[in-house]
Amino acid sequence: MQKTSAIPPSDEAVVRAIAGGDQESLRLLNSRYGNALAAVAERVLGDRADAEEVAADVLWQAWRQAAVFDRSRGSVGAWLMMLVRSRAIDRLRARAARANLRDDPAVSTDAPDATFDINNAQRRHVVQAAIAALQDSERAVLELAYYSDLSQSAIAERTGLPLGTVKSRIRSALIKLREGLKGLGD
């Protein structure tokens, strides 16, 4: 973001610049909100290191999703605080779930179960075969959706494909995966 006057840019202008790929604007957003994001996350999590990681995740999410920010739904600050609160709660829930697994007497950590390993290997083979059965074009959009956490519109924009084509390929891929994975059960 270029400095044209002594008046600092508004939060909305900063987010627009971030949407355009301006890294300096992301630094500015971090300087404005980084400490507040970490403080909110720390209040939820009770751990400063986790809170700082969540705050960094939120800023990374703001970088990726700046183009979809809608000022009619609230201010930049409110958007960031909602994101950090949601991420912190998700982390808290994950932490609790891991603790419950460790404390669950039904989950044995004594000796590895050979049948568990065999079942996992079989499941892995079935999943790999189902993914391999997809067309390259279907696999590509599905990977963008799940691994890059992109919306269908963002995938269309990134790949240059029409939105309808992206939707059709994702739907087709999911149907094929569901059929390929039917034998797995739960």
Mean pLDDT by groups of 10 residues along the chain of 186 residues:
72 94 92 93 91 93 91 91 92 86 62 71 80 88 80 91 93 87 65
Is residue 5 situated within a structural domain? no
Is residue 166 situated within a structural domain? yes
User: Which residues have a Cβ under 8 Å from the Cβ of 16 and sit 6 or more positions away?
Assistant: 66
Q: What is the CATH number of the domain that holds 175?
A: 1.10.10.10
Is the pTM above the cut of 0.95? no
Q: Compute the residue count for the chain.
A: 186
91 and 149 in contact (C-beta within 8 Å)?
A: no
State whether residue 135 is helix, strand or coil. Answer: coil
- N- to C-terminal Cα separation, the chain: 50
- Select from 103, 123, 145 the last residue of a domain: 103
Q: Tell me the residue type at 4.
A: T
Please give the Cα distance from 14 to 37 (Å, whole number): 17
